[in-house]
Chains A and B, each alone.
Chain A
Amino acid sequence: MTGPLFPQGGPNMGQPAPRYEGRAKVTGEARYPSDVRLPRTAHACLHLSRIGRGTIRGFDLTAARAVHGVIDILTHETVGDAIRQTPAIYQGGYTSDSLLPLGSAEIAHWGQPIAMVVAETYEAAREAAQRIVVTTAPHPSPAVDINAPGAETRALEPMMVQAGDFDAAYAAGPIRIDARYTTPAQHQNPMELFATQCVWEGDRLTVHEPSQYVNSVKFGLAEQLGVPADNIRVISTHVGGAFGAKGFLTQRTALVAIAARRLGRPVKLVATREQGFTVSGYRAETRQHVQLAATRDGRLTALRHEGWELTSRADTVAMGGASMTTRLYACPNILGRVNTVAADRSTPGFMRAPGEVPYGFALETALDELADRLGMDPVELRRVNDTQTEPVGGLPYTSRSLMRCFDVAAATFGWSGRSPRPGSMREGDWLIGWGCASAYYPAQAGNSAARVRLTADGTAHVASAGHELGQGMTTMMAQVAAEELGVPLERVTVSLGDSDLPPAVVNGGSAGTASVASAIMIACDAIRARLGVPRDAPYAALRAAVAASGLAFVEELGEARAHGRSPESLPDMYRGRALPLGGVELPDRVQFAMGAQFVELRIHRWTREIRVRRAVGAFAAGRIINPRTSHSQLLGGMIWGIGSALHEHTDIDQRNAAYTNANLADYLVPVHADISEIQAILVSEEDRLVNQAGVKGVGEIGVVGVAAAISNAVFHATGRRLRDLPIKLEHLL
């Protein structure tokens, strides 16, 4: 069975409090942004480019305009200069890419929004959008992917990592591995579609949009529209999954905002599932090269990891995962490099463990190749190279529990029963494979604020513009305030997902809990200080203190500055610039959550279906505020890892870079039946350095390493080493 759903609390583990908004979500009362009903709403539908790179010669809108109920059609010809060109986040701005929405007749890529219809009903808008006729001049040979001849490769020198003398050490290495790997384009596909509703009241704009960062939408939109940011409010109370896709301002929001202004009524856009494949960013495909040298007892003497990542022509975006894979194991001679390959595609973005999933796959598979070459158990290979000192700069880890994770997971999995020889474990017509890999994710935090109010009736309210993406932010916020103040949990209420609240970090990079929890703790400290109530004072004493103060309530704002950020950086969060920092980016230390992934799979001897039978992961991520929500995050992450290894792959047509499986029938994500048994174990770990809350974050680490564990298990089952994801049955026929 699945093992304990909510592990017993360790010394550093909080209570598995039930989900704060659980009731709203099981009754249908939870209002996601597309559920908000505004009177007189007009409905919008995008029309996306159906060619690759090229130029629009003209529109024939006759048939579209003739559809009953059509009100307005926005194109580059009708929008004029209503939207300003602003920098993307990669250049210090707010938007997820640099293309100006409906900015010109130039088409950069397939799937670019080139028109938007607004109509009385969604049905009319969609029909009209389908009836738009565009005359285009396509570029004769757009560069469609990372291997296309016309794509431009560029080395990113600032991302280079170097220690010792790799070339000499590799040449001298007694045992060497030299292997190349690829990972595909993938899309986050949260269950909730990309929706935006905009309504103007005079010169004030309210935006309802699922977001991981309402302040990116607010301040970015202010720049794009030339409107004071104070006039814009962005509300995102419930978000139906995000996984990086809802991190930053996309082109659609400004279009809906100006449509609503043109019409003087609310406008609602819900992009279709297919449109969602280019409305936001995605995980870009990569090529990677790993070279390892080791002594005969398995000590690494040289490690080189170089990656090539696809990007768009408009933006140089790289996840740069080699900066982390070069800092995981003891090794004196290291070289890490990252390159971008610019093609005629939409700008990639963040997808759950963006750099760690692809780069982790390559490195952890290469280590398995090394273990095989050495005739060494792959767990022991990690043990031999375990270290408490980061190998490039010699910095300490704030804490590191990699081998404890391996030991716990290996014992639970029954790893000692493994027969090491490939192909040696069978059950009837099925070949059995066992594999393992390390998981890691940088512990990060960003500047964040929270306001806590303690009322005379003994209730508390916590407010911060963090986001409930399903990860459990709301529950966590209530728990931290309850614990810090000593107020019963059921007497704490929470507000979040609203740009009018104190700002929080973008809820990405697994930084949300660490950042917001720290801010709440600071606010609670301030409240207790003001009331003169010591920590651990009984609830009655706290209430008595508020009553004695004669105030209706006591309220404090907590501002948490992330380690590594300067005091001067604090005001930036009030301008939508609170980004995570940590991992390997700090001058004085390295911060990682770590884990171990074990997988058993079976492969049919004739037809070669690959099925994961069970997976066990153990993770040490500092303080776990809520084991229930954290455990669920890790389970979900592990399933993502299985999808990433075996199913998920965006198909790209070589003629125009069209995504030919841009729907949930053809873009396969795992279903229940794909996984018989999966277990995530929370390994207790105390880290008093990493941040005030002691939290490392668990949103992404569950995905990392699963693909390598699977490819290693495929090797164990079949003797075939597969270095290209996803692994499909045809690769084993």
Chain B
Amino acid sequence: MRSFQYSRPSSLTAAAGEMGGLLAQDPDAPAAYLAGGTTLLDLMKLDVARPERVIDLSALRGELGHVHPGATELRLGAFARMAEVAAHPGVIADYPVIAQSLALAASAQLRNMASLGGNVLQRTRCSYFRDPSWAACNKRTPGSGCAALGGVNRAHAVLGTSEHCIATYPGDFAQALLALDATLVLAGPQGSRTLPFGSLHQLPAATPHRETTLLPGELITEFVIPARAWTRRSLYLKVRDRESYEFAVASAAVALDLDGDVVREARIALGGVATIPWRAHGAEDALRGLTLTETLAWTAAENAFAAARPQTHNAFKIDLGQAALMRALLQAASLEIRP
């Protein structure tokens, strides 16, 4: 790990101001925000992240740590602890997919450390990204190539890949946000704005190093999740190699609005199989207006993976992703929803 300067501003305004000052001097200033720290510190040890300036946001926990489940929307401060949100009765009852995606992420202990904002911005677990001795990584070094393409790629993505990058987005919470049409509140040196969560992550395409649409120095301050007809019939299904404390091999966040057995509306986001949190619009369309049967669920699942492109070791993720989605849909349909 390289040396850096450290500061801990006492407020959001001070933090954004400090970062703004650095960027004003140098638009490419090697500065980083430190939230829960679980991703940044790890990558700094690996010499993948090399910030010269680290702005610690832990003082913002008080200011941005709220959990407000309401009748029309759920508002979550970006510094609310994952554990706290996952255990909140109002979230569990009315926004189950949110609570489940957080409860199934990482370990109980990391859920105490990591912030919500940091969680959705966590970097890929791609071994080749995480080890700088592999020269070829377009995410680390634009234009250098992709070592994962010819390497060990069981864990890599089958959806949203490009010839430049196949790294999987590793998180769980993001799929829940995506399925529920969440909105982000952002703050930065240029002020604050809102952004649909679905517009946050960028496909790797030819620029895998650009992972999000955040502006320089911008940070997430709040998540707003609207309560809709399908929100309470929602769940997160996570398939992993180990029973606990492990990233998804495949996951599905689903939300259904049913009229009897007929799907009025469906929301589907997939994890573990794609380069970004993956919204399966085609699968949603395939369900809408039809009676949800095992056959229909398979049709939707096949649709979700129609564009999948397997690598040497991960073709199974297509079958597995389909099975996970189907299982999630049938499970969601069978939920007892209190009026």
Direct contact between A and B judged by beta carbons closer than 8 A: yes
Q: Point out residues on A near B: beta carbons under 8 Å.
A: 50, 68, 123, 126-127, 130, 429, 604, 606-609, 611, 646-647, 651-655, 658, 660-661, 665-666, 668, 670-674, 728-730, 733
CA distance A730 to B3 in the complex (A): 43
Asked if B327 and A606 make an inter-chain contact with CB atoms under 8 angstroms apart, the answer reads yes
Contacts of A651 in B (CB 8 A): 127, 152, 154
> B242, B316, B326: which contacts A733 (Cβ < 8 A)?
B316
- 22 A–B contact pairs at CB < 8 A? A50-B133, A123-B1, A127-B2, A130-B132, A604-B327, A607-B320, A607-B323, A607-B324, A607-B327, A608-B320, A653-B151, A660-B128, A660-B152, A661-B127, A661-B152, A665-B125, A671-B244, A671-B245, A673-B242, A674-B243, A729-B249, A733-B319
* Chain A proximity of B150: nearest CB distance (Å): 7
Contacts of A646 in B (CB 8 A): 241
Is B285 in contact with chain A by the CB < 8 A criterion? no
CA distance A671 to B243 in the complex (A): 8
Asked if A608 and B244 make an inter-chain contact with CB atoms under 8 angstroms apart, the answer reads no
Q: Mark B172-189, 1 if CB is under 8 A from A, else 0.
A: 000000000000000000
Contacts of A606 in B (CB 8 A): 323-324, 326-327
Q: Point out residues on B near A: beta carbons under 8 Å.
A: 1-3, 47, 125, 127-128, 131-133, 150-152, 154-155, 239-246, 249-250, 316, 319-320, 323-324, 326-327
Asked if B239 and A609 make an inter-chain contact with CB atoms under 8 angstroms apart, the answer reads yes
Asked if B320 and A660 make an inter-chain contact with CB atoms under 8 angstroms apart, the answer reads no
Contacts of A729 in B (CB 8 A): 239, 241, 249, 316, 320
CA distance A730 to B249 in the complex (A): 10
Contacts of B324 in A (CB 8 A): 606-607
Asked if B242 and A666 make an inter-chain contact with CB atoms under 8 angstroms apart, the answer reads no
> A654, A655, A730: which contacts B320 (Cβ < 8 A)?
A730
Contacts of A733 in B (CB 8 A): 316, 319-320, 323
Asked if A668 and B1 make an inter-chain contact with CB atoms under 8 angstroms apart, the answer reads no
Asked if B242 and A674 make an inter-chain contact with CB atoms under 8 angstroms apart, the answer reads yes
Q: Which 7 A-B pairs have the closest CB atoms?
A: A673-B244, A730-B316, A50-B133, A660-B127, A673-B243, A606-B323, A651-B152
Contacts of A127 in B (CB 8 A): 1-3
* Chain B proximity of A609: nearest CB distance (Å): 6
Nearest-CB residue, chain A, relative to B151: A653
CA distance A665 to B126 in the complex (A): 12
Contacts of B327 in A (CB 8 A): 429, 604, 606-607
CA distance A76 to B2 in the complex (A): 26
Nearest-CB residue, chain A, relative to B323: A606
Asked if B319 and A668 make an inter-chain contact with CB atoms under 8 angstroms apart, the answer reads no
* Chain B proximity of A499: nearest CB distance (Å): 34
Contacts of B154 in A (CB 8 A): 651
Asked if A671 and B242 make an inter-chain contact with CB atoms under 8 angstroms apart, the answer reads yes
Most buried by A among B1, B133, B327: B133
Contacts of B316 in A (CB 8 A): 729-730, 733
CA distance A611 to B246 in the complex (A): 14
Q: Do A126 and B1 contact each other (CB < 8 Å), given the known contacts A647-B242, A673-B244?
A: yes
Nearest-CB residue, chain B, relative to A429: B327
Nearest-CB residue, chain A, relative to B326: A606
* Chain B proximity of A443: nearest CB distance (Å): 34
Contacts of B1 in A (CB 8 A): 123, 126-127
* Chain A proximity of B247: nearest CB distance (Å): 8
Asked if B239 and A668 make an inter-chain contact with CB atoms under 8 angstroms apart, the answer reads no
Chain A interface helix/strand/loop/mixed: loop
Most buried by B among A127, A604, A660, A672: A660
Contacts of B133 in A (CB 8 A): 50
Question: Other than the known A646-B241, A651-B154, A658-B131, what 15 A-B pairs have Cβ atoms closer than 8 Å?
Answer: A68-B3, A127-B1, A607-B323, A608-B323, A653-B152, A660-B128, A661-B152, A665-B125, A666-B125, A672-B244, A674-B242, A729-B239, A729-B316, A733-B316, A733-B320
Nearest-CB residue, chain A, relative to B155: A666
Asked if A674 and B150 make an inter-chain contact with CB atoms under 8 angstroms apart, the answer reads no
* Chain A proximity of B119: nearest CB distance (Å): 16
Contacts of B127 in A (CB 8 A): 651, 660-661, 666
Nearest-CB residue, chain B, relative to A674: B243
* Chain A proximity of B318: nearest CB distance (Å): 9
CA distance A495 to B125 in the complex (A): 45
* Chain B proximity of A533: nearest CB distance (Å): 55
Asked if B2 and A728 make an inter-chain contact with CB atoms under 8 angstroms apart, the answer reads no
CA distance A348 to B151 in the complex (A): 23
Most buried by A among B1, B152, B245: B152
CA distance A126 to B2 in the complex (A): 9
Contacts of A670 in B (CB 8 A): 242
* Chain A proximity of B270: nearest CB distance (Å): 13
* Chain A proximity of B39: nearest CB distance (Å): 12
* Chain B proximity of A81: nearest CB distance (Å): 29
> A604, A652, A730: which contacts B152 (Cβ < 8 A)?
A652
Contacts of A429 in B (CB 8 A): 327
* Chain A proximity of B252: nearest CB distance (Å): 10
Asked if B241 and A728 make an inter-chain contact with CB atoms under 8 angstroms apart, the answer reads yes
Contacts of B131 in A (CB 8 A): 658, 660
CA distance A608 to B154 in the complex (A): 16
CA distance A606 to B127 in the complex (A): 29
CA distance A655 to B245 in the complex (A): 30
Contacts of B245 in A (CB 8 A): 671, 673
* Chain B proximity of A65: nearest CB distance (Å): 15
Contacts of A728 in B (CB 8 A): 241
* Chain B proximity of A110: nearest CB distance (Å): 10
* Chain B proximity of A653: nearest CB distance (Å): 5
> B155, B239, B241, B323: which contacts A647 (Cβ < 8 A)?
B241
Nearest-CB residue, chain A, relative to B312: A654
Q: Do A611 and B241 contact each other (CB < 8 Å), given the known contacts A126-B1, A127-B1, A606-B323?
A: no
Asked if A668 and B241 make an inter-chain contact with CB atoms under 8 angstroms apart, the answer reads yes
Nearest-CB residue, chain B, relative to A129: B47
* Chain B proximity of A99: nearest CB distance (Å): 20
* Chain B proximity of A587: nearest CB distance (Å): 46
CA distance A29 to B250 in the complex (A): 44
Nearest-CB residue, chain A, relative to B127: A660
CA distance A666 to B131 in the complex (A): 13
CA distance A729 to B324 in the complex (A): 12
CA distance A661 to B240 in the complex (A): 16
Contacts of B240 in A (CB 8 A): 609
CA distance A730 to B321 in the complex (A): 11
Contacts of B242 in A (CB 8 A): 647, 668, 670-671, 673-674
Asked if A668 and B246 make an inter-chain contact with CB atoms under 8 angstroms apart, the answer reads yes
Contacts of B2 in A (CB 8 A): 127
* Chain B proximity of A123: nearest CB distance (Å): 6
CA distance A68 to B3 in the complex (A): 10
* Chain B proximity of A667: nearest CB distance (Å): 11
* Chain A proximity of B286: nearest CB distance (Å): 18
* Chain A proximity of B105: nearest CB distance (Å): 13
> B47, B150, B241: which contacts A655 (Cβ < 8 A)?
B150
* Chain B proximity of A728: nearest CB distance (Å): 7
* Chain B proximity of A658: nearest CB distance (Å): 8
Contacts of A665 in B (CB 8 A): 125
Nearest-CB residue, chain A, relative to B246: A668
Nearest-CB residue, chain A, relative to B330: A606
Contacts of A130 in B (CB 8 A): 47, 132
Nearest-CB residue, chain A, relative to B321: A607
Contacts of A607 in B (CB 8 A): 239, 250, 320, 323-324, 327
